[in-house]
Structures are given as structure tokens and as C-alpha cells.
Homo-oligomer: A and B are copies of this chain.
């Protein structure tokens, strides 16, 4: 049995709280949010006894074993350091910080304090992606030669969010950078990024792109691409292909139903799930389940602080590559 406190109760914080509530081995004692009035009723309905706008009140609570950090990215570094120093295990949403320097600073403290840190790469807990990784590890397609990740959102975030998001590579493609390392089981050594503003000019005006393709080179010699778009009108498009010596493995989209409609307009099946909350519903549950289990059983974390750091390094290199118009090496 572990006792947990959650810092930041926006959409993703609330999602994690509801998923933790399904676990008999977890008690959610406290939640902190700057907008305490907004969440008061919500938290009370969930029997959370301690509702505060002061994160340190949670971090310093001796009854609490683990902290979930779901507040804005700019707050992550200080909260991680404080939580680690208070000997709390930590779950932190992605990215850890907006700069690899800050992330390294936070990770150093985590390491010194010997606490566990899990980063919120929820897709690692999806059955499809986990299975494909295991199949590759088991040699089902022999040596991997190429990777292709397609990852498209149904619509762009509000422009206010875009401004402070860290940019497409750090905010959105970071999931795919982690997935690339996860399925290929090799680090990325070079990245070449190409971005474009094709969906909404306002995204360009605030210095970001809405469409991008990144060409990756892996340490093991394989190569691959990631494509991101901020707007696929047909829903949340999450596909992946690894091609190798003995064949190829492809993850297709999950869909709400397995109904096929033969009509005068064609043969129609469901669109993909509309967005990440539906598509990764079970993955988010399993992410919390495995975080709790790793603490209770003192076992390894599925996605570590270093995984977070490596994804951020690729994101930084991609952003730089796009700016200078050339490939960038990652040492």
C-alpha cells in the first residue's frame, strides 16, 4: 500500500487520479493546484482529504510515498528536486523540462537521493507498442533496418498553449522520439528535421510549425522517420512500422468498433479514436499500475529520467536542425 500526492490537477492530473483510484494498493491523500477553487468539489467527491494550493505541503508530508507532478513544465525542475530531497518517488509528466541542462540538473538530484522517477511516456504502456517492441527484441523480424512513425493530432491546441508549449518537437514529437528509442532499442545519433506551417498561419506567427518530418539515424545503423501533424480531420492517427531482415511489423490505429458498413459510398469502417484520452485509456491505467508496482515491489521503472532526457536531447537537436537546415549529431 502506498500513499500518493498529486501536484497539478488539470486534465492530465485528474486523469491520473481517476486511474489511481482503480488500484486497491494506492491511497490518494492530497492534491495541490493553483486553481484550488476549481477542483475542490471534484476532489472531495473522490475522498481526497487534503486539497491545497501549496505543493510543498504535499512534498513535506511524511505520510506520502510518491508524488505525481502534473503541473506546467516550467515548474517541474524545482518540484522534482524538492520531492527527491524529501525522499519521495516521483512520476513526472513529459517533458521533464524544456532544456536538457535543467533536466540533467533535476536528474542529478534524483540520483543522489536514490528515489525512483518515472516519466509520462504513456505510449510505452500501450499493448500494441509493447508487443511490437517485444517481438523485435525476440527477433521476429531479425535486425531492424527502418522505422516509420506516423503521429497526428485531430486538431491543433489553442494558440495560447502553442506559445508556451516548447514547440512541436518538445511538446508533441517528444512522445515519438521516446517511442523510436523504445521500439528500436537503440539511441538516436543524428537527426534531420523539416518543418512547415500548413494548417494555421498563427502557429507560424508564434514561431512554431504544425507539420514536420524528422529523419533519424540510430546508433545501431538503422534509419527512420517520424511524421507529425497538428491536424488530421479524421482523428488521432497513431501508426508505426518497423521493417527488418525477416519482415515488417506494423501497428495500425485502434478504433471504437469493428463494424464494417457496406454502403453506396464505399466500404466504411470506424475512424481512429478521436484523441489520446480514448486511444490510450488503458495505457494510462497501466502506466499508473506499473508506477505503483515499481514502488511497492522496488522494481525497475519502465521509462526513467534518462529516457526523458534522451527524448529531450533529440527534440533539441531536431529544433536546431530545422533552424539551420542541416542534420545535427547527438553525441
Contacts and interface: CB of A to CB of B under 8 A. Distances in A.
A267 B269 contact: yes
Interface in A232-286: 232-234, 237, 243, 245-272
A146 interface: yes
B266 A247 contact: no
A145 interface: yes
Contact of A256 (B127, B213, B217): B127
Contacts of A164: none
A263 B251 contact: no
A160 to B, nearest CB: 24
B258 A249 contact: no
Interface stretch (A115-123, A218-226, A299-307): A218-226
A163 interface: no
B248 A254 contact: no
Contact of A252 (B211, B215, B258): B258
A225 B250 CA distance: 17
B262 A248 contact: yes
B257 A213 contact: no
Interface centre among A131, A215, A258 (most CB of B within 10 A): A258
